[in-house]
Amino acid sequence: GESVGLHLPTLSVQEGDNSIINCAYSNSASDYFIWYKQESGKGPQFIIDIRSNMDKRQGQRVTVLLNKTVKHLSLQIAATQPGDSAVYFCAETPTSGTYKYIFGTGTRLKVLA
Amino acid sequence: SQTIHQWPATLVQPVGSPLSLECTVEGTSNPNLYWYRQAAGRGLQLLFYSVGIGQISSEVPQNLSASRPQDRQFILSSKKLLLSDSGFYLCAWSVLGGARDTQYFGPGTRLTVL
């Protein structure tokens, strides 16, 4: 079936370094992609999104890259801080007509002091 | 701005007891509403979604039910809890018909069934 997955279940990064979290998706018709951050015991928090007509979008310290050719999505966090420690997961949604997201299981980001 | 509330935050219930989890959204009208369950170390499983009052779609056959008695209120219920109902329950909302239909999540309810 269609799925969204993550390459690395755990990523450890030194404080101040850049982090890159990856996500592969299998539905070539997916139109919209989102990255969420989930801290322990809390609900997922929206970080950044991107439509399929774009290949890059930047926010505050975060950048999402979309490569439709290889169906790959990545989240880059610049100057990683201790507060960035969390589970990050991606979600995709097909084109209009459905309310269903397909979620990845998540990558745990650990920031080392 | 929009906010979403869930209560209770944590709940410990015996097997066979009933369940009622509540979710309310403020600052928006006619939202899509969703119930998800997140098992430990696993991804989000969509349980129910609703596009309007009284309109509920069930995604997974299970021991749970959902209701939407008001535009911004979504309730998750069970008549008799099972051990397998334990998990982290998340409510989410999105703007109806929005081109991007971004889902925003509530703080969650941690349910432990003993």
Classify domain B3-113 at the CATH topology level: Immunoglobulin-like (2.60.40)
pLDDT recorded at residue B106: 97
Nearest CA in chain B to A44: B105
Residues of B with CB below 8 A from A103's CB?
A: 43-44
Mean pLDDT of chain B: 91
Distance CA A73, CA A13 (A): 19
pLDDT recorded at residue A61: 96
pLDDT recorded at residue A1: 36
Q: List CB contacts of A25: < 8 A, sequence separation 6 or more.
A: A3, A4, A5, A33, A71, A72, A73, A90, A92, A102
Confidence check: pLDDT of A101 > 90: no
Q: Is the CB of residue A68 less than 8 Å from the CB of residue A52? A: yes
Q: Dump pLDDT digits (tens) for B25-47.
A: 999 888 999 999 998 767 899 99
Beta bridge partners of A102: A92
Domain range annotation of chain B: 3-113
Q: Dump pLDDT digits (tens) for A3-54.
A: 444 444 899 999 999 999 999 987 888 888 999 999 999 999 999 999 999 9
Most A-contacting residue of B7, B32, B102, B109 (CB-CB within 10 A), to test interface: B102
Domain range annotation of chain A: 4-112
Residues of B with CB below 8 A from A51's CB?
A: 100
Residues of A with CB below 8 A from B6's CB?
A: 43
Torsion angle in degrees (nearest 10) through CA of B45, B47, B51, B53: -150
CB contact under 8 A, B103 and A51: no
Nearest CA in chain B to A88: B43
pLDDT recorded at residue A5: 45
pLDDT recorded at residue B75: 98
Residues of B with CB below 8 A from A33's CB?
A: none
CB contact under 8 A, B108 and A42: yes
Confidence band, pLDDT 50/70/90 cuts, at residue A104: confident
Which residue matches tokens 């399929």? Answer: A52
Classify domain A4-112 at the CATH topology level: Immunoglobulin-like (2.60.40)
> What is the amino acid identity at position A33?
F
CB contact under 8 A, A34 and B102: yes
Nearest CA in chain A to B43: A105
